[in-house]
Amino acid sequence: MNKRSAVLLGGALLTMSILSACSSGSDKGSARSEAAATGAAPAAAQTAAKPVTLKFYTWDNESNQIARQKMIDAFHAKYPNVTVQNVSLVPGNSVESMKKMDVLMSSGEEVDVLEYGNIDETLARASAGVLAPLDEFYANGNVNPEEDYYINPKANGKYYATMLTSSPYFVLINEDALKEANLSLPSFDWTWDDFREYAKKLSKGDGNDKRYGAYFHTWGEYTNLIAYSDLKSPYLTTDLKPGFNDPSFAYFFNLRRAMEKDDKSAKPLADVVGAKLSYITEYLNGKAAMLATAPFMLDNVMNKEKYPHTFKSVIAPLPRSSKNGELGITNIGGSYVAVASNSKHKQEAYDFIRYMTTEQEARLELSGYKKADPKAIVERLYGKAADIIDVTTLQATIFDKKVKTNFDPAVSVPYGNQLKGVLEKGFSKFMLDNTTAEEAQKWMMDESDKIAKQNSK
């Protein structure tokens, strides 16, 4: 996998131009022009082409399905011979949907386009041979993916997916709770130690009525957000060896334990796991005042019918690792779309994923496409919810020139999803079995070594 420089957000995004909509036409010249602009093959844009139906597998919830359908309808208008069926496997749950997709594909189910929630899951499927390489399609469309997308999943030197969404992490804060505690909105110079102090002051009440200062979900990201933002990989060193012995793991593990056990300012992990709590309802029901999250959460904030609430959410940067830590470092996640290797309509499937990743007028989230205008997208997506989302602090947080991530997609392995599982289990052992951070780190290093050896055979 080729080395890339760190993924930048903010200043770089502000310089990108708005994607110009390509005019459609029924003649072959117009079809070629549109294909050159989008990276699609000319034949796919011709209205005389044979009718094709694509099955697109997602985890869209009800509100996302409505928005996604607008994008699909726009695609249909440009490619009238192609019909796309949006099949949501487990609405609102990307992890379970990906598992269900694996079962469907292994059983021979017809699949054309798939969406994956992170790069590790994408690379795992690429290495397993269930995704089609995109290099030939990129070449035919004169597309340079490194110039077009922030992160490009590669395996064995080939491209296997395009970046659909870009999700920079930030901290959502209940503005009412912030004012009640007489606290100012944190700036880029706050640290995780400051986050802990804020959580103490934002906590209120007892028992079932308690409002915790912060909520951490069960995902690997929440076990050590420093690793996901400051390191080249949250699991590996630059020479692709297990990296769980990095000092940031002991620091963040102990921070989480102190907030839960000593300060009682974070919901106990045992309760989160035992009651299968939702980060969405914990925050929007006022049970937690702060939530480290990403733009995917904002759709839920806007859905007042499903999650009734009246407080406004203000947005702060993700805390830096220490007072000496670099300002603006954050975790930038994203979702990816790929073509199934057994698809009978690979060209049309590629045309669809290329359209979805470059089209901007019906976007569901921030784009992984470098040439998009993110400010315009944010205003269109969230401007109508100004009473419950502070768009000013959102834009100031995610588009500041300081914002970037140190994550390097080249520092990855096909079994990265297994390493994430080791991290989650190691953290659970630390929190629930009362081991030391050092003992948990040793266990994670040993388990990672076993996985690496198994995958090298």
Q: What is the CATH number of the domain that holds 354?
A: 3.40.190.10
Tell me, yes or no, whether 174 and 161 share the same domain. no
- pTM to 2 decimals? 0.77
**How many domains is the chain built from?**
2
| Residue-wise pLDDT tens digits, 294-304 | 998 998 999 99
Domain carrying residue 71: 17-166+334-372
Is 230 among the domain residues? yes
One domain, residues 149 and 188: no
Q: Comparing C-alpha atoms, which of 45, 85, 63, 19 is closest to residue 359? A: 19
**One domain, residues 130 and 239:** no
One domain for residues 306 and 351? no
Q: Give me the pLDDT at residue 48, please.
A: 58
The answer to whether residue 383 sits within a structural domain is no
- 9 lies in a domain? no
C-alpha 355/C-alpha 403 separation (Å) is 27
* Cα distance between residue 359 and residue 366, in whole Å: 11
Is residue 46 located within the same domain as residue 162?
yes
Q: Which amino acid is at 103?
A: V
SS3 63: helix
Distances (CA, A) of 328 to 173, 317, 321, 403: 18, 7, 10, 4
436 token code pair: 């030391």
The whole-number pLDDT of residue 364 equals: 67
Asked if residue 158 and residue 32 are part of one domain, the reply reads yes
Backbone angles phi, psi at 131, to 5 degrees: -115, 150
Tens-place pLDDT, residues 26-79: 232 333 333 434 445 444 444 457 899 999 999 988 878 888 898 999 999 999
Residue 11 falls within a domain, yes or no?
Answer: no
Would you state the pLDDT for residue 407? 87
367 and 420 assigned to the same domain: no
Domain co-membership, 286 together with 432: yes
Residue type, 418: Q
By DSSP bridging, strand 82-88 and strand 52-58 are parallel
Residue entry with tokens 């007072």:
323
109 and 129 inside one domain: yes
Is the sign of the CA dihedral 348, 350, 353, 358 positive or negative? negative
Cα angle 92, 62, 217; round to 5: 25
Element (H, E) at 168: strand 162-168
Give the residues of the chain that fall short of pLDDT 70.
1-48, 364
